[in-house]
Amino acid sequence: MPRIVGVDIPNNKPVRVALRYIHGIGERTADMVLKEAGIEETVKAGKLTEDEVSRITQIIDRECIVEGQLRRQVSQNIARLRDITCYRGIRHRRGLPVRGQQTRSNARTRKGKKKTVAGKKGVKELR
Give the angle subtended at the CA of 86 by the CAs of 80 and 90, to the nearest 5°. 90
Residues forming beta bridges with residue 44, ordered by sequence position: 14
Instruction: For residues 96 and 93, give the distance between their C-alpha atoms in angstroms, rounded to a whole number.
Output: 8
Q: Which helix (H) or strand (E) holds 33?
A: helix 27-37
Fold adopted by 3-63: Helicase, Ruva Protein; domain 3 (1.10.8)
Q: What is the pLDDT of residues 74-88, one digit of tens each?
A: 999 999 999 999 999
Domain map of the chain by residue range? 3-63
Q: For 43, which DSSP code?
A: S
pLDDT in tens, 34-46: 999 999 999 999 9
**Per-residue confidence in pLDDT tens, the chain, 127 aa:** 788 888 888 999 999 999 999 999 999 999 999 999 999 999 999 999 999 999 999 999 999 999 999 999 999 999 999 999 999 999 999 999 999 999 988 899 999 998 888 877 766 666 6
